[in-house]
Structure 1
Amino acid sequence: MSSDRHTPTKDPPDHPSSSSNHHKQPLPPQPQQPLSRYESQKRRDWNTFVQYLKSQNPPLMMSQFDYTHVLSFLRYLDQFGKTKVHHQACVFFGQPDPPGPCTCPLKQAWGSLDALIGRLRAAYEEHGGGSPDTNPFANGSIRVHLREVRESQAKARGIPYRKKKRRKTKNEVVVVKKDVANSSTPNQSFT
C-alpha cells in the first residue's frame, strides 16, 4: 500500500465537522413565558412614558429627560384620573361622601401614582438608564410631589370613582343545596 493514501477516520461526535452535528437543524426558539401582571403593567407604563416624551415639543430623547419631565408627566396623567379631589373652597371639602355633585376635578389617586413611579423606576434601570443614584424617577422632588398629592387628597377626602354594579338576574344566582342525610359518613373504626 502506498503511504499517500490513508483511510478516513470518523470524527468524534462532538467535533464541529462531524456528520452527525452537521445535519442537525437549529432548535426552534422556545416560547417565552407570558409576562406577569406586574411586568406587563411595567412595560405598558414605560411605553406610555416614552410616547409622552416623544409628544413633547421638541420631542425628547431618553437621554435628555430629567425629573422635571417626570413631574410634568404625572400632572399630565391627572386628566385621566377617576378620583374626585375637592378644592378648599368647595362646600364638600373634607366630606367623604358628599350629597351632591360638584365641579371639582378628577385626578389620579395617590396610590396609583406611587405604584406607577415604582414601576417606572424599575423600568428605567432595566432599560440601561444608569445607576439608581441618577434615576430621575427616584429624585427627591418626585417623593416630595407624591407626599403633597397624598396629603392634599387626604385633606380633601378624595372620592374614588365607583363603577355602578350590575344587578344579578335570577338566572345568574346558583343555589347549592346539601343533602343532609347523604352528607354524613358513618364512624369508622381502625382496628
Structure 2
Amino acid sequence: MEGCGNSALSYELSLVGFPDVTSVDYSSVVVDAMRTRYAHMPNLRWETMDVRALDFPSGSFDVVLEKGTLDALLAGEEDPWTVSLDGVHTVDLVLSEVSRVLVPEGRFISLTSAAPHFRSRHYAQARYGWSLRHTTYGDGFHFHLYFMYKGRELSGAQLALGAQLFLPPRPPPTPCFLQDSDHEDFLSAIQL
C-alpha cells in the first residue's frame, strides 16, 4: 500500500482479516502519527518512503493497493487529457516500482476518481507485466477500480491504448459555429 496519508484504510484492512499490512507515505510526520495512533496493532507497519523509489526487495508483496496516490501526484497537471512528460514519467516510476515489488501473480489495485480515458493508458504498458481490468463503485459519483494481475497479458486493444500515451499531443480542434453569431439578433428572439 502506498501514499497512505492519515486514512484509516490500513486499520480497516486489518479488521477484515488481512494479516500483515504495510503502509507507505512520503511524509515522516504522517508516518509517525500513524505509528502512534495504531501502536496497539502489531500487524500494521508504517514506512516513510517515496513511492517512485521503494526500499522493498523485489517480489515483496502479494497485493499493492493505491488509493489516490497517483491522483495526488498528477494534481498539478494542467490538462488531464494530455499529461505532461514529467507527469507520465512520474506515473511510470511509481508503476514500475509497484510491478517490481509484486510477487508473480501478485495484484495491484488502484482506487481513484480518474475515469478510464484518463488513467487506463498509464496502466496499459506491457513492460509492467500485468493484465488490466476496470470496474466502478458507487452511486452518482463513481470511484474507479483498476485491477492489474502480474504475469498475465494485456489485450491488443489495451496495448494500443497504452501506446497513445506516447503520441504527440493533438492540437485542439478549431471551433465550428453553425450560425454566424455576429449577425444574429438574440434580443428579438426573447419573449417575455
The TM-score, its normalising length taken from structure 2, stands at 0.21
Q: Which has the larger radius of gyration?
A: 1
Structure number having the greater strand percentage: 2
The TM-score, its normalising length taken from structure 1, stands at 0.21
Structure number having the greater helix percentage: 1
